[in-house]
C-alpha cells in the first residue's frame, strides 16, 4: 500500500513532450522500460566501477552496480510504501552519463572542459535522457517524466541549475526532491561501499586484517565468526557483507520513518518543502559509514595499482579530447555533424561539448581502441 507522501504516476508533473497514456503500465514503468532499452544503459556493461572491465570477469561494472542499487532501493521503497517503479527507474538511470574509467575519466574530462563549463556525470546523465538518446521519432532523448529526471540529478550548482528549467528549480529554491529520489541517492552509497569492499578483497588490494581496524566492519566480522567459526574465504566475506548491507538498510528505514513521522508530512508537496532530506541514517551509523568511506578512499581508491590505472585513464581521456579539439575530422561522421550543430549555436564551447558527449559515451575498451588508433604508430599499415 502506497504512503500518502509517495510519488504517484497519476500525479506526475509530466513529460517535456506530451504523449498518450501508456496501456497496462504506469508512467514510471514506461520510464524504467525506456531506460533499460537505451544504448546508454547497455554501454554500462563495459564501463569501470573501480576496476577496468578487462582486469577480471567478476568485478563490478557500472551496469552491475546500477542493478545492485535498484535492488536495494526497491527493497526500501516497498517497506516504506514508496513508489517502486519510480525508485527503480532513477536507480537504473543514475549513471547513464558516466565516462569510461569511472571517476578517473570524469575528473579528466572535467579538467579538459573547465574552460567550457566543466563536466559532471549527473548533468551528463540528464543530458543523455533529455537529448542524446535518439531512438524515438517524435522527440529527442527518452522523454522521461519530471520525477525520474529530477531523481537522476542528485546534485547541481546554482549556476548550472539556472539553465535546467523545471529540474533545476529545487536547487535554486533550496527545496527537496521526492523521497524516491532521496532514497536512491542513499541506496547508491550502500551499494558501492559494500561491493567496493568485495572487489577490493577479491583483488587482494585490501585485506580482512586491514578492515578489522574499521569499527563498522569489525563488529560485523566478529558476529559472523562467532556464528560460523569454521567458515572462511568467499563465504566468510559474503556473510559479512550481506549483514553490513542489511544493517545499513534497516537503519535507513527506521531512521527515515521516524523522521517522516516527526516532520508531519502527508504529501509530496510537504516532502519538497522540507529544509533537509527525510531519508537518512542515524547519527551513529552515519559516522561509522563515513569512517568506512575514508578507509576505502585511502586504502583502495588511492592504492598504487588503482592509481596507476587512474593515471593511464586520465591520459587516454585527455589525449582523445585534445586530438578531437585540434581536428574534428578525426571524429566519426555522426559526431562531426553534432559538432557542427553545436558550434552553430554555441561556438567553441559547442565543439567542446559535442566532443565531451562522444567521449563520455565511450566504453572503457572503445576508448582504449580509439587511443590506440590515434597514437599507437605500430598500428599504422
The percentage of the chain sitting over the pLDDT mark of 70, rounded to a whole number, equals 97
246 vs 47, residue with greater confidence: 246
Query: Residue 380 above 80 pLDDT?
Result: no
Residue 50 has pLDDT above 80, yes or no: no
Same-domain status, 280 and 340: no
pTM score, whole prediction? 0.94
User: Does residue 112 lie within any of the structural domains?
Assistant: yes
| 300 vs 195: CA distance, rounded Å | 12
Q: Is residue 42 part of a domain?
A: yes
Comparison of pLDDT for 102 and 208, the residue scoring more: 208
Assess whether 191 and 88 both reside in one domain.
yes
Question: Residue 186, class by beta-carbon neighbours within 10 Å (0-12 exposed, 13-18 middle, 19+ buried)?
Answer: buried
Q: Which of 29, 10, 42, 2 is nearest to 144 (CA)?
A: 29
- How far is the C-alpha of 379 from the C-alpha of 381, rounded, in Å? 6
Shared-domain flag, residues 286 and 369? no
Is the same domain home to 73 and 199?
yes
Determine the pLDDT at residue 306.
85
Same-domain check for residues 133 and 257? yes
Predicted local distance difference test score (pLDDT) of residue 371: 95
Q: Residues 36-64: what's their mean pLDDT? A: 81
Q: Where are the beta strands (DSSP E) in 236-281?
A: none
| Percentage of residues of the chain with pLDDT beyond 90 | 86
Q: Is the pLDDT of residue 60 over 90?
A: no
Residue 239 has pLDDT above 50, yes or no: yes
Is pLDDT above 50 for 54?
no
69 found inside a domain = yes
Range 235-258 average pLDDT = 97
Residue 1 lies in a domain: no
Asked if residue 150 and residue 31 are part of one domain, the reply reads: yes
- If one counts the domains in the chain, the total is 2
Residue 7 CA to residue 81 CA, distance in Å, equals 10
Given 305, 327, 362, the domain boundary residue is 305
pLDDT given for residue 228 in this prediction: 96
Q: Are residues 345 and 210 in the same domain?
A: no
Spatial separation of the C-alpha atoms in residues 60 and 203, rounded to whole Å: 12
Does residue 3 lie in a domain region? no
What average pLDDT score do residues 242-264 get?
Answer: 98
* 49: alpha, beta or left? (left if phi > 0; alpha if psi -120 to 50): alpha
Overall average pLDDT of the 331-347 stretch: 94
Tell which of 245, 273, 305 closes a domain.
305
pLDDT of 49 above 80: no
Whether 270 maps to a domain, the answer reads yes
Choosing from 264, 279, 305, the residue where a domain stops is 305
Tens of pLDDT along 274-322?
Answer: 999 999 999 999 999 999 999 999 999 889 988 888 899 999 999 999 9
At 379 the pLDDT is 57
- Residues 165 and 117 both lie in one domain: yes
pLDDT of residue 55: 55
pLDDT at 48: 80
Question: Quick one: 172 and 217 in the same domain?
Answer: yes
In a domain, 94, yes or no: yes
Contact, 125 vs 139, CB < 8 A?
no
Q: What is the pLDDT of residue 58?
A: 66
Predicted confidence (pLDDT) at residue 223 exceeds the cutoff of 70: yes
User: Do 313 and 347 have their domain in common?
Assistant: yes
Place of cell 559474503: 238
Q: What is the pLDDT of residue 52?
A: 55
Q: Is 292 in the same domain as 319?
A: no
Cα–Cα separations (whole angstroms), residue 305 to 68, 312, 367: 25, 11, 20
CATH number of the domain that 200 lies in? 1.10.3210.10
Same domain for 104 and 239, yes or no, is yes
Q: Is residue 131 part of a domain?
A: yes
Q: What's the CA gap between 346 and 116, in Å, rounded? A: 10
Average pLDDT over residues 127-143: 97
**Can you give the pLDDT at residue 56?**
52
Q: How far apart are CA 97 and CA 36, in angstroms?
A: 14
Contact (CB, 8 A) for 59 and 53: yes
d(CA 99, CA 108): 10
CA torsion sign for 7, 8, 9, 12 is negative
312 exposed, middle or buried (CB, 10 Å; 0-12, 13-18, 19+)? middle
Mean of pLDDT values over 242-252: 97
**pLDDT-derived band at 102, boundaries 50, 70, 90:** confident
Short-list 219, 220, 236, CA closest to 228: 236
Q: What pLDDT, on the 0 to 100 scale, is given for residue 322? A: 97
Residue 345 has a CB neighbour count (10 Å cut-off) of: 9
Average pLDDT of span 96-112: 93
Range of the domain at 163: 9-305
Amino acid at each position: 500500500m502506497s504512503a500518502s507522501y509517495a510519488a504517484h504516476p497519476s500525479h506526475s508533473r509530466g513529460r517535456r513532450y506530451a504523449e498518450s497514456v501508456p496501456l497496462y503500465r504506469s508512467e514510471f514503468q514506461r520510464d524504467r522500460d525506456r531506460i533499460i532499452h537505451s544504448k546508454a544503459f547497455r554501454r554500462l556493461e563495459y564501463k569501470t566501477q573501480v576496476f577496468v572491465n578487462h582486469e577480471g570477469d567478476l568485478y563490478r561494472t557500472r551496469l552491475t552496480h546500477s542493478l545492485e542499487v535498484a535492488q536495494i532501493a526497491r527493497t526500501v521503497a516497498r517497506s516504506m510504501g514508496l513508489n517502486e517503479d519510480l525508485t527503480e527507474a532513477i536507480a537504473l538511470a543514475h549513471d547513464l552519463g558516466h565516462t569510461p574509467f569511472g571517476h578517473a575519466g570524469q575528473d579528466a574530462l572535467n579538467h579538459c572542459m573547465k574552460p567550457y563549463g566543466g563536466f559532471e556525470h549527473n548533468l551528463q546523465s540528464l543530458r543523455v535522457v533529455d537529448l542524446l538518446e535518439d531512438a524515438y521519432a517524435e522527440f529527442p532523448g527518452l522523454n522521461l517524466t519530471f520525477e525520474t529526471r529530477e531523481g537522476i540529478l542528485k546534485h547541481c550548482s546554482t549556476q548550472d541549475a539556472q539553465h535546467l528549467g523545471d529540474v533545476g528549480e529545487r536547487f535554486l529554491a533550496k527545496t527537496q526532491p521526492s523521497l524516491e529520489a532521496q532514497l536512491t541517492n542513499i541506496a547508491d552509497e550502500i551499494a558501492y561501499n559494500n561491493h567496493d569492499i568485495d572487489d577490493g578483497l577479491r583483488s587482494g588490494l585490501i585485506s580482512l586484517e586491514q578492515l578489522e581496524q574499521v569499527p563498522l566492519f569489525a563488529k560485523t566480522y566478529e558476529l559472523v565468526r562467532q556464528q560460523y567459526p569454521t567458515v572462511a574465504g568467499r563465504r566468510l566475506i559474503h556473510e559479512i557483507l550481506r549483514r553490513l548491507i542489511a544493517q545499513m538498510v534497516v537503519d535507513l528505514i527506521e531512521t527515515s520513518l521516524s523522521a517522516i513521522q516527526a516532520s508531519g508530512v502527508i504529501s509530496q508537496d510537504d516532502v519538497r518543502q522540507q529544509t533537509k532530506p527525510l531519508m537518512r541514517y542515524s547519527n551513529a551509523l552515519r559516522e561509522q559509514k563515513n569512517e568506512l568511506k575514508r578507509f576505502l578512499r585511502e586504502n583502495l581508491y588511492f592504492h598504487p595499482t588503482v592509481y596507476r590505472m587512474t593515471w593511464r585513464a586520465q591520459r587516454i581521456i585527455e589525449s582523445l579530447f585534445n586530438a578531437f579539439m585540434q581536428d574534428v575530422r578525426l571524429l566519426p561522421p555522426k559526431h562531426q555533424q553534432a559538432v557542427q550543430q553545436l558550434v552553430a549555436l554555441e561556438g567553441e564551447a559547442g565543439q567542446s561539448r559535442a566532443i565531451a558527449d562522444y567521449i563520455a559515451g565511450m566504453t572503457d575498451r572503445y576508448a582504449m581502441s580509439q587511443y590506440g588508433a590515434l597514437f599507437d604508430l605500430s598500428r599504422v599499415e
